[in-house]
Amino acid sequence: MRDKNYLKPLEGLINIAAIVCGYAALGLSFLIGYEILARRFLSHSVQGVDEIGGYVLATTAAVGFASALLYRMHTRIDVAIGYFPKPVQAILNTIAAALFAGFAVFMLLRAWDSLQESIAYTSRASTPLQTPLWIPQSLWVAGIGLFALVACAMALHSLWLLSRKRVDSVNNTYGPPSLQDEVDEQVSEAKRTLNEGKKHD
């Protein structure tokens, strides 16, 4: 099981960001629906729907990186790792977490450079909206920053656990989810759904 005391603040932050992105996607779907109806019945088109959709997609994807990492939904190839002794598995899982953090920080630095260039050159989108690019890029960088924050926090936590020789904690928290973990998650989700249904009744 995951170390809830350490990861709970991150879970709350990720959940808030995911909810905001969900509402943004919902708003976009209404806008697209209006665009379709307006074209069909009013011979009118809302300018920039595809552009706004791209901005929402980019920001939502960046937040999704963080959520997928936190809840171990990224794909990992675990064909061989199960054959190693648990201490070796813990070392490999810690290395994986550190490499992921390095990749996330690299992404953040490159995204930040892109944002700084847009600000310096007052870049605008070559679209009818002429959107100042620093606005959507700021949201995009914030999403990637959240991803980097989660990745670095998890890497530091895995290193701390490994230094304390808490091998099982490292493997359970940062190793690929086992089949039993996935079954337990599905059972827990079913129980939550059932309990929520009973409350509404």
- pLDDT tens by residue, 144-188: 999 999 999 999 999 999 999 899 889 888 888 766 666 666 777
Nearest residue to 107 (alpha-carbon basis) of 61, 170, 175: 61
Confidence of residue 1 (pLDDT cuts 50, 70, 90): very low
**Could you report the per-residue pLDDT of 6-37, keeping only the tens digit for each?**
778 888 889 999 999 999 999 999 999 999 99
Domain-located, residue 186: no
Domain-located, residue 194: no
Q: Return the bridge partners of 132, or none.
A: 124
Domain-located, residue 199: no
Residue count (the chain): 201
Question: What domain range is 43 assigned to?
Answer: 4-177
E-strand ranges in the chain read none
Domain-located, residue 200: no
Domain-located, residue 184: no
**Could you report the per-residue pLDDT of 99-108, keeping only the tens digit for each?**
999 999 999 9
Q: Give yes or no for a contact between 46 and 31, defined as CB atoms under 8 angstroms apart.
A: yes
Domain count, the chain: 1
pLDDT of residue 95: 95
**Cα–Cα distance, 111 to 103 (Å, whole number):** 12
Q: Give yes or no for a contact between 48 and 41, defined as CB atoms under 8 angstroms apart.
A: no
Q: Give the pLDDT mean for 90-100.
A: 94
The encoded tokens of residue 129 equal 């909206």
Domain-located, residue 68: yes
Give 126 or 197, the one with higher predicted confidence.
Answer: 126
